[in-house]
């Protein structure tokens, strides 16, 4: 009986891992749908950065249920977005709410917090983020975690409207990547926080994909202490 139970658990684990491997070939399409209309995209203009609330004000506006779920993401002067879970069984879903980003469920399975948003809505602000910018994740239990942008990646989607497109990295034009390879590089675990949206080129609002890759930020006070400790160690020889 015990042997049978162990074998069943191992089989379930294998099936889970196989399922994750097969599922990890999807890069959500985070651009304007074909029926939205170019007139809307042209008329809406840029997001108003002056309307971004302070971190304290934004934190106070978020739901607080004592749980540990991710509730919001904030970048000073850039963005303040609620974070919404994707519907079950819809890994390509991206919210149409202009003040929110979707939590990419497939990325969570690999230990990555992936936030996806359309480039004609909240994702437009992702395009302005650069190395060194600090991103704060806010949780429903009142805690927060600060990340720092390490790099950004931009890629052309060879089948722009497909979540399983092949991609060409604009930093290495000779390199072609499958959706599965790109998923592994971006969401496979080396980047704890990833923000994704689409790139527009000409009249194509989903010409490419844009990824903001971030790592946990060291608290400034802790960083100062580490620098002092390093200096002391160097003095002691």
**pLDDT for the residue 51:** 85
pLDDT for residue 32: 77
> What is the model's pLDDT at position 17?
37
The pLDDT, as a whole number, for residue 23 is 54
Query: How confident is the model over 109-164, as pLDDT tens digits?
Result: 999 999 999 999 999 999 999 999 999 999 999 999 999 999 999 999 999 999 99
In sequence order, what are the residues at sequence separation of 6 or more whose Cβ sits closer than 8 angstroms to the Cβ of residue 49? 77, 78
pLDDT at 66: 73
Q: What is the pLDDT of residue 21?
A: 42
Q: Domains, the chain, ranges and CATH?
A: 25-235 (2.40.260.10)
Run of H or E including 87: none
Q: What count of residues does the chain have?
A: 237
Query: What is the model's pLDDT at position 182?
Result: 97
- Residue 114 pairs in a beta bridge with 194
Q: What's CA 132's distance to the chain center, in Å? A: 16
Partner residues linked to 103 by β-bridges? 85, 115
Which residues in the chain land under pLDDT 50? 1-22, 39-46, 221
pTM for the model: 0.81
DSSP secondary structure string, 97-163?
-TTEEEE-HHHHTTT-EEEE--TTTGGGGGGG--TT-EEEEEETTS-EEEEEEEEEEEEEESSTT-T
In contact, 154 and 199? CB cutoff 8 Å? yes
In whole angstroms, what is the distance from residue 80 CA to residue 146 CA?
14
């Amino acid at each position: 009986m015990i042997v049978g139970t162990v074998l069943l658990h191992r089989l379930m684990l294998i099936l889970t891992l196989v399922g994750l491997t097969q599922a990890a070939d999807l890069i959500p399409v985070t651009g304007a749908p074909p029926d939205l209309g170019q007139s809307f995209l042209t008329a809406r203009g840029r997001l108003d950065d002056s309307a971004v609330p302070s971190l304290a004000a934004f934190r106070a506006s978020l739901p607080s249920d004592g749980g540990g779920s991710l509730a919001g993401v904030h970048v000073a002067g850039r963005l303040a977005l609620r974070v919404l879970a994707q519907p079950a069984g819809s890994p390509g879903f991206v919210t149409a709410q202009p003040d929110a980003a979707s939590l990419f469920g497939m990325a969570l399975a690999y230990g990555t917090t992936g936030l996806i948003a359309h480039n004609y809505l909240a994702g437009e602000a992702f395009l302005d983020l650069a190395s060194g910018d600090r991103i704060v994740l806010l949780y429903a239990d009142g805690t927060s975690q600060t990340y720092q942008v390490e790099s950004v990646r931009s890629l052309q989607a060879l089948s722009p409207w497909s979540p399983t497109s092949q991609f060409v990295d604009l930093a290495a034009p000779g390199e072609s990547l499958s959706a599965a390879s790109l998923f592994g590089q971006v969401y496979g675990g080396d980047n704890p926080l990833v923000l994704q949206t689409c790139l527009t080129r000409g009249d194509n609002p989903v010409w490419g994909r844009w990824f903001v890759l971030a790592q946990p930020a060291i608290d400034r006070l802790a960083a100062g202490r580490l620098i002092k400790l390093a200096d002391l160690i160097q003095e002691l020889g």
